[in-house]
Structure 1
Amino acid sequence: MLKVQEIRELIKLVDQSNIEEFVYEHEGSKVEMKKKAGIAVPVAVSPSVQPVVQEVVHMEQKPVQTAALQTETKQEPAAAEAEQIDTSNLHQVVSPMVGTFYQSPSPETDAYVKQGSKVTKDSILCIVEAMKLFNEIEAEVEGEIVEILVKDGQLVEYGQPLFLVKPE
C-alpha cells in the first residue's frame, strides 16, 4: 500500500510536470491523477489506497499558485539578509531533484556542514531524499560555506539553491 508521503510526492511531481494525466499501479494498488485547473487531482484509486488518497486530497486542497504567491510576498528577515550578501563571486550548490533536504545522515548525528565549514569538491553537504532514495549532494568546489539557504526537513525543488560557497 502506498504511504501518504509517497502519494504527496506523486501529486507534486505530476503537478510540476507538463503531463495532463498520470496512472500509477503497484502491487495491486492503482492511483490515477488528472490535472484540473493546472493542479493534479487524484480521480480514481483502488480500494486499498482510498483512505490515504482522501487524506492527501484533503491536505492538498489549497491551490498551488496561491501558496506560491504567499511565500513570495511574505519576506522574512533572513531572506532580506540573504539579498544583501554579494553573491556574484559565490558558487551556488543547487538541488538536482525535487525532494526533502536533510543536513545530516540521521537525526541523532551532527550536520554534514555548517556556516563557515571548509569543504572540498568531494565533501558531502547534505542529503536530498526523493521517493525513499537518499541522494548525497557534494560541494562541487573547494571553499567555505557562506550560507545554508534551506532548513532541515524542508521540501526543495529541482534547481533550488541549497548552499552558497565561497570558492578558494
Structure 2
Amino acid sequence: MNINEIKELLKAIDSTNLEYVKLESSDLRLEVSKKAQSTSSPVLSVQQESVVDLSLEKPVVNDTPVTSNENLSVVVAPLMGTFYDSPSPDADSFVKVGDVVEEGDTLCILEAMKLMNEITSEIKGEIIEVLVSNEELVEYNQPLFKIKPL
C-alpha cells in the first residue's frame, strides 16, 4: 500500500462515524483513532478536533508493549478492546496471581472488532498483579499485568 492509498483510506474513514479502525496485512499495520490519545505515536490532524494515529511497521511475532516499574514489568494493552482472562467462559484463566509464565505464554485475549488477539508474555516471570477484570473494556496502553522477572 502506498502513501496515496493510505491518504485515500484515511479520508474514507474520516467521512464515517467510526472512532477506531485497525487494519493489518503482511506489510502494513494501520491504527486510526479519532479520539485524542496521550501517546508518543506520530499523529496527523485530519479536521478541527479529529486526530488520526498512524503507525506503519512490519508485523512482529509479539508487539505487546512492556514497561519497567521498580523491577516489575507492566504489560499494557497494545490495542483497545474487551479483556478476556480465559479462552472460553467455562475455561480456567490463562494466568492468575502467583503463576510463573514463560516467554511466549498467553496471558489473556483482547477482542477488537470481533478479532481475538492473544497477548503473550515477553519475559519469564511471576504474575504479581492482574490489573483488569474479565470482560472489561480496556484502552490502548492501559496496564493489564504486573510481572516480576525471574
Q: Classify the TM-score, shorter chain.
A: 0.5 to 0.7
Structure 2 residues without counterparts, runs of 5 or longer: 1-16, 21-32, 38-43, 51-68
Segments of 4+ moved more than 3 angstroms: 9-13, 16-21
Structure 1 residues without counterparts, runs of 5 or longer: 1-8, 22-34, 40-86
User: Cα deviations across residues 23-44 of structure 1 (Å, max 9, x unaligned)?
Assistant: xxxxxxxxxxxx8xx58xxxxx
Kindly report the root-mean-square deviation, in angstroms, between the aligned alpha carbons of the 2 structures: 2.4
Larger Rg: 1
Q: CA deviation at 1:117?
A: 0.5
Greater strand percent: which structure? 2
Which residue is 2:34 aligned to? Answer: 14
Which residue is 1:144 aligned to? Answer: 126
TM-score, length-normalised on structure 2?
A: 0.58
TM-score, length-normalised on structure 1?
A: 0.52
**How far apart, in 1, do the equivalents of 2:73 and 2:114 lie?**
28
**How far apart, in 1, do the equivalents of 2:137 and 2:45 lie?**
22
Q: CA deviation at 1:10?
A: 3.3
Which residue is 2:137 aligned to? Answer: 155
**How far apart, in 1, do the equivalents of 2:82 and 2:34 lie?**
17
**How far apart, in 1, do the equivalents of 2:112 and 2:45 lie?**
19
Provide the secondary structure at the position in 2 that maps to 1:15: coil
**AA matched with 1:140:** E
User: Cα deviations across residues 8-34 of structure 1 (Å, max 9, x unaligned)?
Assistant: x9336433466556xxxxxxxxxxxxx
Which residue is 1:118 aligned to? Answer: 100
Greater helix percent: which structure? 1
1:92 equivalent among 54, 71, 74: 74
